[in-house]
């Protein structure tokens, strides 16, 4: 059988101990799918250690037309974790490629392999005494490369507009190695310093896509600021999202706030430190009175915004005063700042404050367990929306009833990924031992994505099981975008080796009728 022949060759390339089959590949699936579901299961997991091994794996895969699914750490659990879109794919997992190749203190960047996690780079910065701060996501176990390639969100300076990655090395489907941007000039020192090259820049072509395997990436770091200050703002009523978001947008646009501030509604913020059963054990969505009580007792209101300030002391002080005044104009609002230093930030009590200050941890794994604790999963609906209070409220009033009609809580984490737009992440929680509840969530997600598309909202990212329907919403001019991307895909990966179906992009041989 072709697949077995290819796997035997993979064993030759990486050593048999680095090709996982059966039980040993147990964790390389969607961790939140109930047992027995077989939608996103690999046939084997190959763990190379070098670029040359990846080149050889790709050549073998092309020869035998074996679909590969690549991940780095494979930790994006709200979107399907390490599972492949197409069951039977061979997963190329890059955890063994975990070298930090360079850390540069004056030009403030690092060059890393795909297996390097946020926690690992943070540790290396501390151990090496580098005066640099890393922008981190909520949970620190993920790969810098993997997170960046999937448009994952981090919260400090270079989180804004996804500016952290700069310069990629990629293995393409013909097994060749390509460097983007200035990396194309042998001996260039600006590969990881300048965001473009001469001619069209390819970096974003390798993000959220299936055009290559990224083997190295530059990542920008901030110099450690004198002061860093997580700030939280709470407001007492759901409709206060309007002045909260509008004030936030104005402060982002005028430069008072930078990075990626977020706004969490009550159940979303409560899930960081408690479980649903601590508050309510009814079946349907939590009643308003319970939400109000949680907001009061945890001091998170009906919305809590999380903002990071950093810089010279006097600048941070000016900005904080301005923030206090601006949000203070909302009736019932509270504004709390925790002025500290990069070293002091490690001692902050709330894990969310630590993330806001660039300190990664695993503490916010808690969020997945809102229902069912350690046996709890979540699936995220994440459309992009204008950072406009009235529109956010309209969105909430449209989608909250749809989610609650399915008996689920309407959680909201609104990440202002740019000064003008936000990702509205609405995670639905379920116990993954409860197949019926899981199915309900999966079905609800399909429906939310479709309804959002009708209203002009596209998703910033999609769970494996909704990738096709999410891509379908980009239907301008009879799906001109996807048709163009498919032509690119066929040109650079004619065998359809890389990640069939990722973000709705299928190779010609597996393409859906449209």
How far is Cα 104 from Cα 223, in angstroms, rounded to an integer? Answer: 11
* Distance in Å, CB of 189 to a second copy, minimum: 5
- Pick the binder of a second copy from 17, 22, 23, 198 (CB under 8 A): 198
Asked if 164 contacts 51 with a C-beta cutoff of 8 angstroms, the reply is no
Nearer to a second copy, 8 or 455 (CB): 455
- Pick the binder of a second copy from 418, 435, 450, 511 (CB under 8 A): 418
Instruction: Supply angle C-alpha 424, 425, 427, rounded to 5.
Output: 150
Taking alpha carbons only, the member of 95, 58, 101 closest to residue 213 is 58
Return the structure tokens found at 202. Answer: 């390819």
Stretch in the footprint of a second copy (CB under 8 A) among 18-26, 265-273, 289-297, 477-485? 477-485
Bridge partners (DSSP) listed for residue 202:
none
Return the structure tokens found at 224. Answer: 């450690």
Q: Considering CB under 8 A, how many residues would be counted as binding a second copy?
A: 101
Asked if 162 contacts 149 with a C-beta cutoff of 8 angstroms, the reply is no
* CB-based contacts of 249, cutoff 8 Å, min separation 6: 387, 388, 416, 419, 420
Stretch in the footprint of a second copy (CB under 8 A) among 12-20, 39-47, 272-280, 385-393? 385-393
- Pick the binder of a second copy from 64, 141, 194, 279 (CB under 8 A): 194
By the rule CB under 8 A, 200 interacts with a second copy: yes
- Pick the binder of a second copy from 329, 362, 480, 508 (CB under 8 A): 480
What residues are annotated to the active site? 79, 460-461
Q: Can you list the alpha helix ranges (DSSP code H) found in 198-328?
A: 241-253, 266-270, 288-298, 313-328
Instruction: Supply angle C-alpha 41, 43, 46, rounded to 5.
Output: 110
* Distance in Å, CB of 159 to a second copy, minimum: 13
Nearer to a second copy, 29 or 59 (CB): 59
* Distance in Å, CB of 191 to a second copy, minimum: 9
Return the structure tokens found at 369. Answer: 């367990």
> Residue 386 class from Cβ within 10 Å (0-12 exposed, 13-18 middle, 19+ buried)?
middle
Interface mask toward a second copy for 281-310; x: CB under 8 A = ------------------------------
Site for a second copy in 62-91 (CB under 8 A): none
By the rule CB under 8 A, 320 interacts with a second copy: no
* Distance in Å, CB of 109 to a second copy, minimum: 7
Site for a second copy in 391-410 (CB under 8 A): 391
By the rule CB under 8 A, 420 interacts with a second copy: yes
* Distance in Å, CB of 123 to a second copy, minimum: 22
Q: What is the DSSP letter of 132?
A: E
- Pick the binder of a second copy from 66, 202, 260, 499 (CB under 8 A): 202
Residue 272 has φ and ψ, to the nearest 5°, of: -70, -25
By the rule CB under 8 A, 468 interacts with a second copy: no
Stretch in the footprint of a second copy (CB under 8 A) among 20-28, 94-102, 326-334, 467-475? 467-475
* Distance in Å, CB of 277 to a second copy, minimum: 35
- Pick the binder of a second copy from 28, 32, 79, 206 (CB under 8 A): 206
Taking alpha carbons only, the member of 113, 157, 119 closest to residue 138 is 119
- Pick the binder of a second copy from 186, 281, 289, 436 (CB under 8 A): 186
By the rule CB under 8 A, 101 interacts with a second copy: no
Nearer to a second copy, 259 or 427 (CB): 259
Instruction: Provide the 10 A C-beta neighbour count for residue 456.
Output: 9
Site for a second copy in 118-177 (CB under 8 A): 151, 157, 161-163, 172, 176-177
By the rule CB under 8 A, 107 interacts with a second copy: yes
Taking alpha carbons only, the member of 180, 149, 153 closest to residue 165 is 149
Helix or strand (DSSP H, E) at 68:
strand 68-71
Instruction: Supply angle C-alpha 398, 404, 405, rounded to 5.
Output: 95
By the rule CB under 8 A, 180 interacts with a second copy: yes
Helix (H, G, I), strand (E, B) or coil at 471: helix
* Distance in Å, CB of 320 to a second copy, minimum: 12
* Distance in Å, CB of 346 to a second copy, minimum: 21
By the rule CB under 8 A, 97 interacts with a second copy: no
Task: Report in angstroms the alpha-carbon separations of 279 from 263, 266, 273, 289, 428.
Answer: 21, 12, 12, 11, 17
By the rule CB under 8 A, 350 interacts with a second copy: no
Cα 458 → chain centroid: 16
Site for a second copy in 236-265 (CB under 8 A): 249-250, 253-256, 258
- Pick the binder of a second copy from 69, 220, 381, 410 (CB under 8 A): 220
Asked if 263 contacts 231 with a C-beta cutoff of 8 angstroms, the reply is no
* Distance in Å, CB of 267 to a second copy, minimum: 25
By the rule CB under 8 A, 434 interacts with a second copy: no
By the rule CB under 8 A, 488 interacts with a second copy: yes
By the rule CB under 8 A, 205 interacts with a second copy: yes
How far is Cα 378 from Cα 373, in angstroms, rounded to an integer? Answer: 11
Taking alpha carbons only, the member of 203, 204, 178, 182 closest to residue 193 is 182
* CB-based contacts of 155, cutoff 8 Å, min separation 6: 135, 136, 137, 259, 260, 261, 262, 306, 308, 355, 356
Stretch in the footprint of a second copy (CB under 8 A) among 292-300, 397-405, 425-433, 454-462? 454-462
- Pick the binder of a second copy from 327, 442, 460, 498 (CB under 8 A): 460
* Distance in Å, CB of 290 to a second copy, minimum: 33
């Amino acid at each position: 059988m072709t697949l077995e022949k290819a796997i035997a060759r993979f064993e030759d390339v990486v050593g048999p101990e680095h090709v996982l089959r059966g039980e040993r590949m147990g964790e390389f699936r969607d961790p939140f799918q109930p047992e027995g579901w077989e939608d996103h299961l690999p046939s084997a997991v190959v763990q190379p250690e070098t670029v040359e091994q990846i080149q050889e794996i790709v050549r073998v895969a092309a020869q035998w037309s074996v679909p590969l699914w690549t991940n780095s750490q494979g930790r994006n659990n709200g979107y399907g974790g390490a599972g492949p879109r197409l069951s039977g794919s061979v997963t190329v997992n890059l955890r063994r490629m975990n070298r930090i190749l360079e850390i540069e203190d004056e030009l403030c960047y690092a060059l890393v392999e795909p297996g390097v996690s946020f926690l690992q780079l943070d540790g290396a910065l501390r151990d090496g005494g580098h005066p640099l701060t890393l922008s981190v996501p909520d949970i620190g176990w993920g790969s810098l490369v993997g997170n960046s390639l999937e448009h994952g969100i981090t919260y400090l300076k270079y989180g804004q507009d996804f500016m952290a990655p700069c310069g990629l090395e990629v293995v393409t489907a013909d097994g060749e190695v390509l460097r983007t941007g200035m990396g194309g000039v042998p001996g260039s020192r600006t590969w990881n310093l300048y965001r473009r090259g001469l001619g069209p820049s390819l970096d974003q072509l390798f993000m959220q896509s299936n055009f290559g395997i990224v083997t190295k990436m530059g990542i920008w770091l901030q110099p450690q600021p004198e002061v860093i200050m997580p700030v939280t703002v709470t407001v007492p009523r759901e409709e206060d999202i309007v002045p909260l978001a509008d004030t936030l947008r104005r402060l982002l646009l005028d430069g008072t706030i930078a990075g990626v501030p977020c706004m969490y509604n009550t159940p979303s913020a409560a899930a960081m430190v408690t479980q649903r059963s601590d508050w309510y054990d009814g079946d349907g969505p939590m009643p308003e009175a319970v939400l109000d009580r949680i907001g009061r007792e945890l001091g998170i209101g009906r919305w809590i915004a999380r903002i990071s300030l950093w810089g010279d002391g006097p600048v941070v002080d000016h900005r904080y005063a301005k923030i206090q005044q601006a949000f203070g104009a909302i009736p019932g609002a509270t504004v709390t700042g925790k002025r500290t230093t990069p070293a002091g930030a490690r001692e902050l009590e709330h894990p969310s404050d630590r993330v806001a200050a660039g300190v990664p941890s695993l503490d916010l794994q808690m969020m997945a367990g809102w229902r069912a604790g350690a046996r709890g999963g979540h699936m995220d609906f994440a459309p992009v929306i204008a950072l406009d209070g009235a529109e956010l409220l309209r969105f909430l009033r449209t989608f909250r009833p749809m989610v609650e009609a399915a008996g689920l809580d309407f959680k909201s984490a609104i990440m202002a990924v740019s000064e003008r737009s936000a990702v509205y992440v609405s995670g639905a929680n379920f116990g993954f031992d409860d197949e019926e509840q899981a199915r309900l969530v999966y079905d609800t997600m399909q429906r939310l994505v479709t309804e959002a598309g009708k209203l002009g909202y596209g998703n910033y990212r999609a769970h494996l099981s909704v990738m096709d329907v999410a891509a379908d919403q980009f239907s301008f001019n009879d799906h001109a975008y996807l048709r163009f991307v498919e032509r690119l895909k066929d040109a650079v990966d004619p065998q359809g080796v890389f990640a069939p179906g990722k973000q709705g992009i299928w190779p010609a041989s597996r393409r859906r009728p449209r």
